[in-house]
Amino acid sequence: MKALKDEGGVRLTASEWSVLDCLWEDSPRTVMQLVADLSGRVGWAKSTTITTLRRMEEKGLVDVEQGTRGKLYAPAVEREQAVIAETHSFLDRVYQGSVGMMMSAMAKRQELSPNEVAELRAILDQIEEAD
């Protein structure tokens, strides 16, 4: 699979995330399988799915091979790489790259549940132990 670049690389649109979510769950898939799935998930028409797949193929986000009953689509990027790239992009755009600033904003608005606070403490403890 290809890697998404953190800086200046490909950013996924909401539509591309929808398609990749389907493919990350199960691939390879035919156009008609994706049409049925995306119709149920996001209400897309067949033409929307086909257009999105064509654009994603041009951008190198999906791999395509010819199957016996038509084209088969598979993700060309890994979910974890896409999540990391999107997270970096979000942090850079909104919080000048500062995780601390983001967490402070969330904590001040009391948007973290006690379970989330405990998860964050556990993550920080693991980071400290690794150092």
Q: Which H or E run contains 65?
A: strand 62-67
- pLDDT of 107 reads 81
- State pLDDT tens for residues 73-119: 999 999 999 999 888 888 999 999 898 898 888 888 777 888 988 99
- pLDDT of 11 reads 81
DSSP 23-46: HHHS-SEEHHHHHHHHHHHH---H
Whose structure tokens read 């999906």?
Answer: 62
Lowest mean pLDDT among 2-6, 36-40, 48-52, 95-99: 2-6
